[in-house]
Structure 1
Amino acid sequence: MAPRTTQWAIPLAVSLGAPVGLYLAFILLGAVPFFQRHFLYAHRFNTLFWHDIDRPEYWGFARNQVTPFSLKTVDGETLYAWHILPLRTYLKHEGILQSDPTALSNDITKTKSFDILRDDPSARLVISFHGNAGHIAQAVRPDSFHTITDTSNYHVLTIDYRGFGRSTGSPSEEGLIQDGTTVVDWAMHVAGIHPSRIVVMGQSLGTAVTTGVVEHFSMQGVEFAGVILVAGFSNLPTLLSTYAGAGFIPVLSPFRSIPPVLRFFQGFIVDKWRSADRLAEIVRLAQTRLRLTLIHAKNDPEIPCHESDILFKSAAKATIDEELDDEQFTTWKEQRTQTRDDGTFISLVETGSNIVIRQELVPYGGHNDVLLSSPVALAVMRSFELDSSESS
Structure 2
Amino acid sequence: MAHRTPRLLLKLRTARPAGLALTLLLLSGCSSMFFYPDRVTYITPDRLNLAYEDAYIDTADGETLHGWWLPAVAPESAIKGTVYFLHGNAQNVSSHILNVAWLPERGYNVFTIDYRGYGKSTGDPDIEGALHDVETGLRWLVAKPEVADKPVYIFGQSLGGGLAIPLASEWIQREEPPGLNGLILDGTFSGFREIAREKLGAFWLTWPFQIPLSWTIPEDYEGLDRIAGISPVPVMVIHSVWDGIIPFHHGEALYEAAEEPKEFLHQRKGGFLSGPKAIRQRNRSAGRLP
Shorter-chain TM band: 0.7 to 0.9
Q: Which runs of 5+ in 1 are unaligned?
A: 1-20, 90-115, 244-250, 317-354, 365-372, 376-392
**Residue correspondence of structure 1 range 302-341 to structure 2 within 5 A:** 302-316=245-259
Q: CA deviation at 1:241?
A: 3.0
Q: Deviations over 1:224-278 (max 9, x none)?
A: 11100000111122112334xxxxxxx332469x7x7532332344687411111
Partner of 1:136: 93
TM-aligned CA deviation for residue 195 of structure 1: 7.4
Q: Distance in 2 between matches of 1:267 and 1:213?
A: 21
Cα distance in 1 for residues equivalent to 2:74 and 2:144: 23
**How high is the TM-score relative to the length of structure 2?**
0.76
Identity of aligned residues (%): 23
**CA positional deviation for 1:153:** 0.6
Aligned with residue 219 of structure 1, among 162, 167, 173: 173
SS of equivalent to 2:236 = strand
Conserved? CA contact 2:191–2:222, under 8 Å: yes
Tell me if the contact between 2:83 and 2:155 (Cα under 8 Å) persists in the aligned partners.
Answer: yes
Root-mean-square deviation over aligned CA pairs: 3.1
Task: Determine helix, strand or coil for the equivalent of 2:143.
Answer: helix
CA distance in 1, matches of 2:159, 2:248: 15
User: Which residue pairs with 1:336 in the alignment?
Assistant: none
Letter in 2 for 1:212: P
TM-score, normalisation: structure 1: 0.58
**1:167 to 2:121 alignment:** yes
Q: Does 2:109 match 1:155? A: yes
**CA drift at 1:206:** 0.1
Structure 1 residue aligned with 2:35: 41
SS at 1:31 equivalent: helix
Specify the alignment match of 1:70 in structure 2: 56
Q: Report the CA distance between 1:142 and its aligned residue.
A: 2.4
Aligned-pair distance for 1:208? Answer: 1.2
Which residue type is aligned with residue 124 of structure 1? G
Report 1:169-208 matches (<5 A): 169-191=123-145, 193-194=147-148, 197-208=151-162
How many residues in Structure 1 have an aligned counterpart in Structure 2?
255
Query: CA 1:183–1:266 in structure 2 vs 1: closer, same or farther (change >3 Å)?
Result: closer
Give secondary structure in 2 for the equivalent of 1:361: strand
| 1:85 alignment partner in structure 2 | 71
Q: Secondary structure at the match of 2:102?
A: helix
Would you say the 8 A contact 1:255–1:261 is kept in 2? no
Other structure's SS at 2:156 match: strand
Tell me, what secondary structure is at the counterpart of 1:71? strand
**Unpaired stretches in structure 2, ≥5 consecutive residues:** 1-15, 275-290
Say which structure is richer in helix. Answer: 1
Shift in Å, 1:24 = 4.5
**How far 1:80 sits from its partner (Å)?**
0.5
